[in-house]
Amino acid sequence: MRIFTICGLIFNVAFFMAAAAIIFCFAFDIITPSMISDILMEIRNQPNSKFILSLVGALIILINYWFMQSVIGKMQREKNIAFPTPSGEVSIALGAVEDLIRRLALKVPEVKSLRPDVVVGKKGIVVNLRVDLRSETNIAELTERLQELVRNRIQDMLRGIDEPVLVRIHVAKIISSEDKKKQDSEPKEPVIPFYGYGR
């Protein structure tokens, strides 16, 4: 399937570059409408021209169809984790894995919020976690514990998959206890219904 993707990509690049070159030449009067008409009439008058033109048209359609199928298939594979079982193939949506990680990580008391992003690539399953922490803590110890927790849970869930699981963590925000107290102690302004609406 990879060879179809490469051939389709090369063909599409060459085709659109040739079309762009023709448009460029037409814009600067290098090619005139009469020249195009003469070339088309010459092709039309050649023996077997209908057969050759039909073959070229069909070939262009087939190459583009194969290219489209290859790209769509690759996109679908990137959105799922697939593994074989004795009864057939099973695929799991990456969104389902992300939801599982979110629920699992939020059970850790120090984690306030978390945004997971799961990618399947050549390196295996890569989990990127963007984390907001509730309090000042030993970040190295906490992130290592979180990495182990997520990695072990994914490996247990996807037992039978040989791909390595890499967990990357980015701590985006740390809410200290002082910040939390300050937020709680700040008086909240009462909300006035329909305030700001003009008459």
- 96 and 177 in one domain? yes
Q: What is the pLDDT of residue 199?
A: 46
Q: What is the pLDDT of residue 27?
A: 87
Asked, for residue 151, whether it belongs to a domain, the answer is yes
Q: Which pTM was predicted? A: 0.51
Which residue shows structure tokens 């979180």? 146
Q: What is the DSSP string of 34-81?
A: HHHHHHHHHHHHSTTHHHHHHHHHHHHHHHHHHHHHHHHHHHHHHTEE
Q: What is the pLDDT of residue 183?
A: 52
Q: What is the pLDDT of residue 160?
A: 64
- 19 and 95 in one domain? no
- Segments in the chain below pLDDT 70: 1-5, 70-78, 136, 160, 177-199
The number of folded domains in the chain is 2
- 179 and 93 in one domain? yes
- 72 and 98 in one domain? no
166 burial (CB, 10 Å; 0-12 / 13-18 / 19+) is middle
Q: What is the pLDDT of residue 170?
A: 92
Q: What is the pLDDT of residue 137?
A: 76
Alpha carbons 50 and 47: distance in angstroms, whole number: 8
CATH code, 136: 3.30.300.30
The range of the structural domain enclosing residue 163 comes to 89-184
Q: What is the pLDDT of residue 69?
A: 72
- 42 and 111 in one domain? no
Asked, for residue 83, whether it belongs to a domain, the answer is no
Alpha carbons 93 and 77: distance in angstroms, whole number: 10
Residue 91 in contact with residue 65, Cβ under 8 Å? no
Asked, for residue 164, whether it belongs to a domain, the answer is yes
